[in-house]
């Protein structure tokens, strides 16, 4: 087997890259720079980003590389990442409850003093699950 064959990464129609070492499309440098920019943001500043591309263009790969670079940043500058995939849920109520559940699971473990917030999120999530529905 040649060195090229040993070092090649197999292509897959629907398997996103996990780490920059598997970068076949040149996304890693962009993800690295974006990760550095996110980590350098002032605390308390808000940020909303979107990745828009057709199916199969590598959006999940880009996000995986971004998580990789942020995860390797120094602790002091590393933001808390909460992974959430809204495509797994149907309906606005299910989506909101699922997101709150994910926040409740992540935040108390990541930040000291967040256990109380986790409890409040849990209470809010439970209350929203039993809220009355309006009908015609």
Same domain, 68 and 97: no
With the CA atoms of 89, 95, 98 and 99 taken in that order, what torsion angle do they form, in degrees rounded to the nearest 10?
A: 130
Same domain, 7 and 74: yes
Identify the DSSP state of 20.
G
| Predicted local distance difference test score (pLDDT) of residue 108 | 67
Identify the DSSP state of 86.
G
User: What is the chain's pLDDT, residue by residue, as a tens digit (136 residues)?
Assistant: 455 555 666 666 678 999 999 898 899 999 999 999 999 998 777 777 888 999 889 999 999 999 999 999 998 888 888 888 887 777 777 787 788 788 777 776 666 666 666 677 667 666 665 444 444 4
Same domain, 55 and 38: yes
| Predicted local distance difference test score (pLDDT) of residue 47 | 77
Same domain, 61 and 94: no
Same domain, 73 and 93: no
Same domain, 9 and 72: yes
Which pLDDT tens digit goes with each residue over 31-66?
999 999 999 998 777 777 888 999 889 999 999 999
Q: How many domains does the chain have?
A: 2
For residue 15, what are the contacts with CB-CB under 8 A and spacing of at least 6? none
Same domain, 95 and 64: no
| Predicted local distance difference test score (pLDDT) of residue 59 | 92
Same domain, 68 and 108: no
| Predicted local distance difference test score (pLDDT) of residue 66 | 96
Same domain, 94 and 130: yes
**pTM (two decimals):** 0.69
Domain that holds residue 37: 1-79
Same domain, 121 and 60: no
| Predicted local distance difference test score (pLDDT) of residue 132 | 44
| Predicted local distance difference test score (pLDDT) of residue 114 | 67
| Predicted local distance difference test score (pLDDT) of residue 65 | 97
For residue 58, what are the contacts with CB-CB under 8 A and spacing of at least 6? 16, 17, 25, 27
């Amino acid at each position: 087997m040649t060195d090229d064959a040993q070092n090649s990464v197999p292509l897959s129609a629907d398997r996103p890259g996990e780490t920059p070492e598997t970068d076949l499309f040149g996304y890693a440098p962009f993800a690295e720079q974006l990760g550095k920019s996110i980590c350098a943001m002032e605390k308390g500043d808000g940020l909303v980003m979107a990745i828009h591309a057709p199916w199969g263009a590598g959006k999940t790969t880009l996000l995986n590389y971004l998580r990789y670079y942020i995860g390797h940043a120094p602790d002091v500058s590393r933001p808390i990442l909460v992974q959430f995939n809204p495509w797994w849920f149907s309906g606005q109520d299910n989506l909101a409850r699922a997101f709150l559940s994910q926040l409740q699971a992540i935040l108390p473990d990541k930040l000291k003093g967040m256990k109380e917030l986790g409890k409040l999120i849990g209470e809010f999530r439970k209350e929203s699950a039993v809220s009355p529905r309006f009908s015609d």
